[in-house]
Amino acid sequence: MTISYTDADALTLEADVLAYAIGDDLAGLDAVSAAAGADLAAYAKAHGFTGAAGSHLALPAMGSIAASTLLLVGVGKGTASDRASAAGTAGRQARTVGAGSLVLALGDASLGREACERALAGNYTFDQFKPEKDRKPALDQLTFVGDAPASADRIAVRADWQSKARDLVNLPAADLYPATLADWVHKHLGTLDGVTVEVWGPEKLHEEGCVGIIAVGQGSAKTPRLIRASYRPEGATTHVALVGKGVTFDAGGLSLKGTPYMQTMRCDMGGSATVLAAFGAAVELGLPIALDVWVGAAENMLGADAFKLGDILTYKNGVTVEIHNTDAEGRLVLADCLIRACEVEGVDYLVDAATLTGACVVAVGGDFTGLFTDDDDFAAALSAAEQQSGERVWRLPLHAPYKKLLKADWAQIKNVGGRDAGATTAALFLQHFVDGPAWAHLDIAGSSFHDTASTTYAAGATGEPVRLLTYWMESL
C-alpha cells in the first residue's frame, strides 16, 4: 500500500477511481464537465445528486478523463470535516468495486492526513469468510491531490492498527475467546521492541482475587484471562494506563439476552480491541510515554457454573457488589482491571474503553463515543484529538448524586442502577474502582460496531476510537 501526494490536475491522473469533491448545488462540477466534454450536471440531477455532504455518485468515465471511474463525492458547504468524511466515502466506494488505485481530489490541499486516514478506514472490510468470488481487493495505491502532510509516515501506522482492531472485533466468538485474544496480544504486541506481556489464567485470577473476571467467566467452558502489556521507553515522563472490556461474547448470562440483542455480541470485546490497538500504535510510533494496557477477557455465558443473581463479589479494594443483573457484566470485569491499573506507581492518566451500555447507544447513537470524566482538561484534550481523528465523542454527565441509584441491600453497591441514566450509573459504578490517576471512561457501545454499513464504514466493527486515543497519546 503506497500513499502519495501530488499537485497535478486531478483530471489528468490515471487511477481506477477519481474521487472529486462537489459542493452544494453542484459547486465545482463545471470544471469536470468541461474536462470530460459532457454535461455532467444533467446526469447528476437525473440521479438526484446535488453535492450534499455524505452523498456520492459514480460515473464510468469512458475515456473522458484519465481515471476509469469518476466518483463525485458531496461535501455540502465544504467544511474541512465534510471533505474529510467524503474521503471515507471514497475509500468505501473504492472497496465495493475493488479499486486498486484511488485519487482523492477534495478541494483542500491541507487535508492530506485526515483524508488518507479516513479513506483507509472506509476501504476496510471484513470478508475472510465470504466466498472468493465475493471478495474485493483493498487499495494498493492512494493519491491525495494536495500537500504532503507533516509526519506522513504515521498515517499508515494509525490506519493499520485501526484495521487490526476491526479484525479482532469482527472475528466470530468461536475463533476469538479469552485464550485466543491473549494469543493475539502475544503475537501482535509481545513482539514489539520494549513490550512485555503477562497473562493470568483461571488459577492466577483466583489467587489474585479477580472476582469480577472470574464471576463473569465461570458460566463458560472458555476460561477467562487478565491480559496486560507494558511499555517503558527510556526518558518517559508521562504514564498512561489503558483498560479495555474484553467480553468475547455477551449472551447476558442467566439474565439472558433475547436473540436480536445477542446477534452481534461478539462485538463486546471492542473496548479491549480499541485499547490494544491504540497501545500498538503508540509503541510503533515510538511515543515517549510509559504505557500499560489491561484487558479483562471473559465470555458471559450461562453454563452450570454461571454466576447468579444475588451473588456478592468482594473486590480487592474492599468494595462489595451485589449482582442484580448478570447482563451488566462489563463493569464487573473492568473493575478488576481498574483496581490493578491504579496500583501501578506513577500512572498519570487512566482511560477505559468499553461497549458498556445500550443506554449510551440510545443517548448518542452510533456516531458518537460517550465520554465520562470529572476532569475538564482531560475532556478538552480528548476533544482536541477528536478534531484530528474525526472520531466523535460526546461528553455525558458523571453526576455524583446518581451514585445513590447503586445502593444495595446486602452489599455496598449493586451492579445496575435501573433504567434512568443507565450509561451514567455504569460510569459511576466504575468510579468506585479508580483511585489516583485522572480518569476518563469511553462508552463505545454505539461507535465501535455498526450493524449496517454506512457511507464511510462497512458493516461491523468501525475501529473507533483507536485513532482518537492514538492522537491523544501523541499530544502528551
Nearest to 256 by CA among 295, 210, 302: 302
445 binds ligand BES (CB under 6 A): yes
Residue from 250, 292, 322, 391 binding Zn ion (CB under 5 A)? 250
327 binds ligand BES (CB under 6 A): yes
Contact letters for Zn ion, residues 324-363 (x by CB under 5 A): ------x---------------------------------
Q: Examine the residue annotation and report whether 403 is marked as an active-site residue of this protein.
A: no
361 binds ligand BES (CB under 6 A): yes
Size of the site for Zn ion (CB under 5 A): 4
Check if the beta carbon of residue 269 is closer than 8 Å to that of residue 246. yes
Least distance (Å) between residue 391 CB and Mn ion: 24
Q: Examine the residue annotation and report whether 331 is marked as an active-site residue of this protein.
A: yes
Amino acid sitting at position 86: A
The residue annotated as part of the active site, out of 113, 154, 331, 392, is: 331
Beta pairing class for 449-450 and 460-461: antiparallel
Which position's Cβ is nearest ligand BES?
Answer: 358
Least distance (Å) between residue 326 CB and ligand BES: 8
Q: Between 114 and 268, whose beta carbon lies closer to Zn ion?
A: 268
Residue 32 binding: pick among Zn ion, Mn ion, ligand BES, none (C-beta 5-8 Å cut-off by kind): none
- Which residue in this structure is represented by grid cell 448518542? 364
330 binds ligand BES (CB under 6 A): yes
Least distance (Å) between residue 252 CB and Mn ion: 5
Contact letters for ligand BES, residues 232-271 (x by CB under 6 A): ------------------x-----------------x---
SS (H, E, C) the chain: CEEEEECCCHHHCCCCEEEEEEEHHHECHHHHHHHHCCCHHHHHHHCCCCCCCCCEEEEECCCCCCCCEEEEEECCCCCHHHHHHHHHHHHHHHHHCCCCEEEEECCCCCCHHHHHHHHHHHHCCCCCCCCHHHCCCCCCEEEEECCCCCCCHHHHHHHHHHHHHHHHHHCCCCCCCHHHHHHHHHHHCCCCCCEEEEEECHHHHHHHCCHHHHHHHCCCCCCCEEEEEEECCCCCCEEEEEEEEEEEEECCCCCCCCHHHHCCHHHHHHHHHHHHHHHHHHHHCCCCEEEEEEEEEEEECCCCCCCCCCCEEECCCCCEEECCCCCCCHHHHHHHHHHHHHHCCCCCEEEEEECCCHHHHHHHCCCCEEEEECCHHHHHHHHHHHHHHCCCEEECCCCHHHHHHHECCCCCEECCCCCCCHHHHHHHHHHCCCCCCEEEEEECCCCCEECCCCCCCCCEECCCCHHHHHHHHHHC
Burial class, 151, CB count within 10 angstroms (exposed 0-12 / middle 13-18 / buried 19+): exposed
268 binds Zn ion (CB under 5 A): yes
299 binds Mn ion (CB under 5 A): no
Residue from 82, 108, 250, 386 binding Mn ion (CB under 5 A)? 250
224 binds Zn ion (CB under 5 A): no
Q: Between 328 and 385, whose beta carbon lies closer to ligand BES?
A: 328
Residue from 202, 209, 358, 436 binding ligand BES (CB under 6 A)? 358
167 binds Zn ion (CB under 5 A): no
Least distance (Å) between residue 332 CB and Zn ion: 10
Phi, psi angles (nearest 5°) of residue 66? -70, -30
**Interface of this chain with Zn ion, residues 74 to 103, rule: CB under 5 A:** none
443 binds Zn ion (CB under 5 A): no
Q: How far apart are CA 189 and CA 277, in angstroms?
A: 9
Residue 67 grid coordinates:
481515471
Residue from 44, 185, 416, 421 binding ligand BES (CB under 6 A)? 416
Which position's Cβ is nearest Zn ion?
Answer: 250
336 binds Mn ion (CB under 5 A): no
Least distance (Å) between residue 12 CB and ligand BES: 47
Residue from 50, 64, 325, 412 binding ligand BES (CB under 6 A)? 325
367 binds ligand BES (CB under 6 A): no
Residue from 55, 143, 357, 455 binding ligand BES (CB under 6 A)? 357
Which position's Cβ is nearest Mn ion?
Answer: 327
Size of the site for ligand BES (CB under 6 A): 16
Residue 320 binding: pick among Zn ion, ligand BES, Mn ion, none (C-beta 5-8 Å cut-off by kind): none
For the annotated catalytic residues, the residue numbers are: 257, 331
Residues in contact with ligand BES by CB under 6 A are 250, 268, 325, 327-330, 355-359, 361, 416, 422, 445
Residues in contact with Mn ion by CB under 5 A are 250, 327, 329
Residues in contact with Zn ion by CB under 5 A are 247, 250, 268, 330
